[in-house]
């Protein structure tokens, strides 16, 4: 493959550091150039709480006490992700992102759509220019008959779900098999922070909250993605008879570069999807395999 550039669009604020940094590290180590993009060309900022853990405990609203962390240490990015994030900050491509409006499918061999759940990621999810670029990336390549390799995780799948194909006038995920952040994972994190951690900001783990009259979970990632699919059955969660089912569904155990047992990654052709930061070592590794194929 002559084109070894991979594009990773980011929000200006609140990207998940695990999903971005670990994926970047693995793809770069495989010999690809990861290029970044933001709406205005300014350097993207992470969800800082996912790095420090400060603010995720019941006393997290108190300036000095917030540095005392218990729940925050459990919920923040793990040591592998924090180390990768420190390296990412030194990357020249990360420090010089291009603008969404300058993105062209022909410039890149693959696309990575990371996620994040904090409120300011809405800018990334709702940007029409970025949605159009993602839709174009899902169009089949004249060379292969398939679209170029695409990997999406967590709320990155929401961005794909909102990308409307110019050919079908439907979501680019219509007719595809996919996973994303499941309601079980999203609601468990929401309940934990709502009642036991950030009680003063109970909806921190919910990017979108239901309107009056809507059922609980209607604005969650799983339900939004399901609404654009050809069939709800095209949304794939971990079947109960799957080996390592408990590891994969605990919401606590994360995968590693040499241990994919806790991960759940769905592949449909050149499209890969995953649920949460605990899947990203496996997602990135499979993405590299497709890129090299």
Read off the pLDDT of residues 90-149 as tens digits, 9 standing for 90 and up: 999 999 999 999 999 999 999 999 999 999 999 999 999 999 999 999 999 867 789 999
173-199 mean pLDDT: 93
> How many Å apart are CA 264 and CA 96, to the nearest integer?
32
Q: What is the pLDDT of residue 142?
A: 67
Whole-number average pLDDT of the chain: 95
Q: Which residues, in sequence order, are CB contacts of 219 under 8 Å at separation 6+?
A: 206, 208, 209, 210, 211
3-state secondary structure of 225: helix
| E-assigned strand segments in the chain | 5-9, 33-38, 98-99, 110-113, 150-153, 265-268, 271-274
CATH number, position 130: 3.40.50.880
Q: What is the pLDDT of residue 2?
A: 53
Q: What is the pLDDT of residue 124?
A: 98
Cβ–Cβ under 8 Å, residues 268 and 201: no
Going from the C-alpha of 274 to that of each of 89, 92, 253, 281, the distances in angstroms are: 24, 27, 15, 10
Total domains in the fold of the chain: 1
Q: What is the pLDDT of residue 1?
A: 44
> How many Å apart are CA 114 and CA 269, to the nearest integer?
19
Q: Domain range spanning residue 90?
A: 5-292
- pTM equals 0.96
Provide the pLDDT confidence category of residue 234 given band limits of 50, 70 and 90: very high
Provide the pLDDT confidence category of residue 74 given band limits of 50, 70 and 90: confident
Is pLDDT at 229 greater than 60 in this prediction? yes
Please classify residue 108 by burial: count the beta carbons closer than 10 Å to its beta carbon, then call 0-12 exposed, 13-18 middle and 19+ buried: buried
Instruction: Lowest mean pLDDT of 69-78, 157-166, 168-177, name the range.
Output: 69-78
Nearest to 50 by CA among 205, 251, 252, 262: 205
């Amino acid at each position: 493959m002559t084109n070894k550039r991979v594009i990773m669009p980011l929000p200006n604020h609140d990207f998940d550091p695990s999903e971005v940094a670990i994926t970047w590290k693995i793809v770069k180590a495989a010999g690809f150039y990861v290029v970044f993009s933001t709406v205005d060309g300014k350097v993207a900022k992470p969800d800082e709480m996912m790095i420090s853990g400060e603010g995720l405990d019941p006393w997290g609203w108190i300036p000095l006490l917030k540095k005392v962390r218990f729940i925050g240490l459990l919920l923040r990015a793990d040591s592998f992700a924090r180390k990768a994030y420190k390296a990412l900050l030194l990357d020249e491509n990360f420090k010089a992102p291009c603008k969404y409006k300058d993105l062209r499918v022909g410039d890149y061999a693959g696309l990575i759509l990371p996620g994040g759940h904090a409120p300011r990621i809405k800018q990334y999810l709702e940007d029409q220019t970025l949605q159009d670029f993602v839709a174009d990336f899902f169009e089949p390549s004249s060379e292969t008959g398939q679209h170029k390799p695409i990997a999406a995780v967590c709320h990155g799948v929401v961005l794909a779900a909102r990308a409307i194909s110019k050919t079908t006038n439907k979501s680019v995920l219509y007719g595809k098999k996919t996973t994303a952040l499941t309601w079980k994972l999203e609601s468990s994190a929401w309940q934990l922070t709502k009642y036991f951690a950030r009680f003063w900001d109970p909806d921190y783990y919910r990017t979108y909250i239901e309107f009056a009259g809507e059922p609980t979970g209607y604005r969650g990632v799983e339900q939004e993605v399901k609404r654009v699919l050809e069939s709800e059955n095209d949304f794939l969660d971990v079947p109960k008879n799957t080996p390592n089912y408990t590891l994969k569904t605990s919401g606590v155990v994360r995968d590693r570069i040499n241990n994919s047992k806790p991960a759940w990654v769905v592949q449909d052709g050149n499209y890969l999807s995953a649920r949460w930061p605990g899947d990203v070592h496996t997602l990135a590794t499979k993405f590299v395999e497709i890129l090299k194929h």
